Amino acid sequence: MPNIKKIYIYPFILTTILASYIITFSSCKQEQHLSIYDIQKQVIEDSAMVVTAHPLATKAGIEILKQGGNAIDAAIAVQFALTVVYPRAGNIGGGGFMIYRSKDNEVNTLDFREKAPLSASKNMYLDSLGNVIEGLSRNGHLAVGVPGVVDGMIKAHQKYGSIKDFGKLLEPAIRYAQEGIILSEGEAQHYNKYQEDFKKFNTQKNVFYSKKNKGQLFKQPELAATLIRIKEKGEAGFYEGTTADLLVAEMQRSNGIITHEDLKKYDAVWRTPLQEPYKNYTIISMPPPSSGGIALCQLLNIIEEFPLSEYQFHSKEHIHLFAEAERRVYADRATHLGDSDFWTVPKDSLLSDFYLDQRMQSFNPNKATPSDSIQAGNIVINESEETTHFSIVDVQGNAVSITTTLNSNYGSKVVVGGAGFFLNNEMDDFSAKPGVPNQFGLVGNEANAIAPEKRMLSSMTPTIILKDDQLFMVVGTPGGSTIITSVFQTFTNVAEFGMNLKDAVHSNRFHAQWLPDQIYIEEESSFSKELINELKQMGHQIETREPIGRVDAILVLPDGQLEGVADRRGEDHAEGY
């Protein structure tokens, strides 16, 4: 008997079948009872696994895997499907990073991060007095970086795809856009929350304008037409021709600066992965222009010296050590990290034992180090709230970890008129002015200053982890500056605190990032009053905040089975076979 949960459900029968499905997972607090999809938060399967932020995106990946596609093919199908079913973050108007490891241990990373337009300039978000103009890098046409997703997916397919016809990989997405998808209550509420912004920052009406309801069939014909152009013409279906014309016209109807030349020049780049040891694990992660890989590896290097497994989970020793390591690492990020095509990132120094030992010289196990007494480290050696993550392992054992984003929810809120997709507001990830925080409270400096064609610094941390040289974990999350610390905690929860993947992903998280000088903890959390008082007595400032991250991860179990876990914090869905 086929398991009903595993049957692929075509959109045209969604109306009749899915309406009767009520969310079944018990631990999802935020969107409990809001989903109409049969969401699986944890599954264990023999051969292949897809975990994404939306059930229909997961199913697009499974569909392609079952047609004989490999993990890369499935990832491409998921990326395009997310554009339709999860447009707050899934996108063709944005960018991202991919970590790939083949079954034969070939490792690679693809940087399809957005770039600053050719006419962007260092002070473009400042007024005549040199002050940052509030919101200009976050909303509207001037906030948009040149999108990288379509070029990224094409490059990934050319190098590693196994289904020859690229267009096939867009079929699930096109079907969802043409035939429509049923909106869950969570999705409908999310669209409704942003109605005012959609109206304020758009120059033309579009399908996102009107109020949405749970159970509504939502079609996106303009987006379907755009996807069909990409299916038929590849690169030229997006960066040239009708789509490019529509995008440039959209820019010109307001204060946007992306031109045809910007689109034509966009180039995704294969970069050498960061590979760092941690005990008997190998961390494979993203080099600049993401700060994620370097920061994660710095954190792991720092904590390796401490008897972490002797600490109790979420004890004051655990939280204090992590927060102290994090404030030093984020101070380094602010000064030393930027797009390595434009700025010399002292990667080897930042990751050296000597340097990190020096950074922790001021660590006091009983007392917080105030952030204003911490600066970025001296490099002595000269060296030449929306994103989404998905994790895939195919039947052969190839693994893909992709984090992809428009930056904020629905990016700049600008929809390309006539083309049906949202554009990013990734320009806010640059440092608009030294020391002035961006939307994630992150400060930056010269290393991350705006320059034409430069990529803005990211925190995205798609990661693949090996244990004893074998595939162990595929992991990543959205969450802006909290991405790095969420991946850090998920991995250490398993490796050091002996948790199974489900507990590691679902347990409450905390976060520190140098400035502001705070430890953030999740609301309704398991952090006891006594613990919070103890941390305060040590000098930490504690603040509760909204959920941190949405980790979608896969763990290879000792018997070779795959455990897929989708974060309880959303409608994320794991499925395999």
d(CA 530, CA 314) in angstroms, rounded, equals 12
- Whole-number minimum distance, CB 114 to ligand DON, in Å? 9
Chain-centre distance of CA 140, in angstroms?
21
CA angle 513, 516, 518 (to 5 degrees): 75
At closest approach, how far in Å is the CB of 439 from ligand DON? 8
Do you find a cis peptide bond into 2, omega within 30 degrees of 0?
no
The smaller minimum CB distance to ligand DON, of residues 194 and 313, is found at 194
Contacts of 481 (CB under 8 A, 6+ apart): 330, 440, 441, 442, 459, 511, 513
Phi, psi dihedrals of residue 98, rounded to the nearest 5°:
-125, 135
Contacts to ligand DON from residues 462-501, by CB under 6 A = 478-480, 483
- Residue 460 in the binding site for ligand DON (CB under 6 A): yes
Nearest residue (CB) to ligand DON, 429 versus 517 = 429
Tell me how crowded residue 382 is: count the other CB atoms within 10 A of its CB: 8
Identity of the residue, 70 or 481, whose beta carbon is nearer to ligand DON in the bound complex: 481
> Among 429, 496, 567, 571, which residue sits at the site for ligand DON (rule: CB under 6 A)?
429
**CB nearer ligand DON, residue 237 or residue 478:** 478
Distance in angstroms (rounded) separating the CA atoms of residues 159 and 243: 25
Question: CB of residue 148 vs ligand DON: minimum separation in angstroms?
Answer: 12
Stretch that binds ligand DON, among 144-152, 201-209, 239-247, 383-391 (CB under 6 A): 383-391
For residue 206, give the DSSP letter.
-
Options 168-176, 189-197, 361-369, 384-392: segment touching ligand DON (CB under 6 A): 384-392
The answer to whether the beta carbons of residues 483 and 549 sit under 8 Å apart is yes
Residue whose CB is less far from ligand DON, 172 or 292: 292
Q: DSSP class of residue 36?
A: -
In the complex, the smallest distance separating the C-beta of residue 482 from ligand DON, rounded to whole angstroms, is: 8
Smallest gap from Cβ 408 to ligand DON, in A, equals 7
Site of tokens 């935020």: 30
Q: Which one among 387, 490, 507, 513 touches ligand DON, defined by CB under 6 A?
A: 387
Q: How many residues bind ligand DON (CB under 6 A)?
A: 14
Residue from 219, 238, 214 nearest 228 by CA: 238
Q: Which is nearer to ligand DON, 202 or 482 (CB)?
A: 482
Spatial separation of the C-alpha atoms in residues 318 and 499, rounded to whole Å: 15
For 513-545, b where at least 16 C-beta lie within 10 A, e where not — what string? bbbebbbbbbeebebeeebbebbeebebebeee
Site mask for ligand DON (CB under 6 A), range 499-528, x = bound: ------------------------------
Taking the C-alpha atoms of residue 519 and residue 545, their distance in angstroms, rounded to an integer, is: 10
Q: Which residues, including other chains, have CB under 8 Å from residue 245's CB and lie 6 or more apart?
A: none
Q: How far is the CB of 288 from ligand DON (least distance, A)?
A: 12
Among positions 202, 206, 369, 407, the unique one binding ligand DON when judged by CB under 6 A: 407
* Whether residue 387 lies in the annotated active site: yes
Point out the catalytic residue in the list 58, 335, 387, 485: 387
Closest contact distance (angstroms) between CB of 507 and ligand DON is 19
Q: Give 18 or 53: the residue with its C-beta nearer to ligand DON.
A: 53
Minimum CB separation of residue 180 from ligand DON in Å reads 26
In sequence order, the β-bridge partners of residue 471 are: 466
Stretch touching ligand DON by CB under 6 A, among 26-34, 44-52, 337-345, 382-390: 382-390
Binding mask 61-90 for ligand DON (x = CB under 6 A): ------------------------------
Under rule CB under 6 A, residue 459 binds ligand DON: yes
Residue choice 83, 226, 285, 405 for contact with ligand DON (CB under 6 A): 405
Q: Does 386 bind ligand DON (CB under 6 A)?
A: yes
Burial class (CB in 10 A: 0-12, 13-18, 19+), 562: buried
> With contact defined as beta carbons under 8 Å apart, do 263 and 248 qualify?
yes
**Quick one: 226 or 459, whose CB is closer to ligand DON?**
459
- Is the distance from CB of 384 to CB of 348 less than 8 angstroms? no
Judged by the rule CB under 6 A, the positions of this chain that interact with ligand DON are 385-387, 405, 407, 426, 429, 458-460, 478-480, 483
Active site residues: 387
